[in-house]
């Protein structure tokens, strides 16, 4: 049978890279209950996502953690009336992580820029690029994942730029 696939957290632990924890909090103007107007208090944290940053010659893994807020007054009212919080329309409010360059990806813009530079500018084959990343202590990304990231970045960010450039040149 196949060995189960490693989770992202397990891969980070194997790499031995320090994880920088960035706590995301709600803005001051959003820390008030929309039902009663009381100030929300923090009551927990939730892991939002990981991101791999490249600052040559070192790598950093950033873990974004969102602080969860709740209204103690509304919670007390719901507890007194034996009504579940979900039926009262009260739900915890949580800060969001910054959007990744590619949705669902743990690669940062610096990692993708380095991969694209090595792949396209220096014409390094994908298998050699993956070997270089492993020797640098990075995640063992599959060649399919790396190629799909590069293609996605080129489609999302470079295609509109080249289309506009060609319109200008042909005009």
Please confirm whether the linkage preceding 57 is cis (ω < 30° from 0).
Answer: yes
Q: What is the pLDDT of residue 39?
A: 84
pLDDT of residue 160: 77
Fill in the DSSP letter of residue 140.
-
Q: Is residue 105 over pLDDT 60?
A: yes
Mean pLDDT estimate for the chain: 79
- Is the whole model's pTM more than 0.75, yes or no? no
Provide the 3-class DSSP secondary structure of residue 62.
Answer: strand
CA distance 164 to 160: 6
User: What confidence category does residue 78 fall into, taking pLDDT thresholds of 50, 70 and 90?
Assistant: low
Average pLDDT over residues 149-154: 82
Closest-CA residue to 44 (of 76, 67, 71) = 67
How much is the pLDDT for 29?
85
Of 7-16, 44-53, 88-97, give the lowest mean pLDDT range.
88-97
């Amino acid at each position: 049978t196949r060995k189960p696939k490693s989770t992202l957290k397990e891969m980070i632990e194997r790499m031995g890279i320090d994880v920088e924890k960035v706590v995301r909090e709600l803005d001051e103007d959003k820390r008030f209950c929309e039902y009663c107007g009381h100030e929300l208090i923090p009551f927990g944290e939730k892991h939002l996502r990981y991101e791999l940053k490249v600052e040559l010659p070192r790598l950093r893994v950033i873990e974004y953690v969102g602080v969860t807020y709740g209204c103690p007054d509304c919670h007390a009212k719901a507890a007194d009336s034996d009504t579940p919080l979900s039926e009262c329309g009260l739900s915890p409010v949580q800060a969001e992580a910054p959007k990744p360059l590619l949705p669902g990806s743990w690669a940062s813009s610096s990692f993708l820029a380095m991969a694209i530079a090595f792949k396209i500018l220096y014409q390094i084959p994908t298998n050699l690029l993956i070997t270089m990343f492993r020797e640098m202590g990075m995640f063992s990304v599959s060649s399919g994942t790396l190629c799909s990231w590069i293609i996605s970045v080129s489609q999302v960010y470079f295609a509109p730029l080249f289309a506009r450039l060609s319109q200008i040149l042909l005009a």
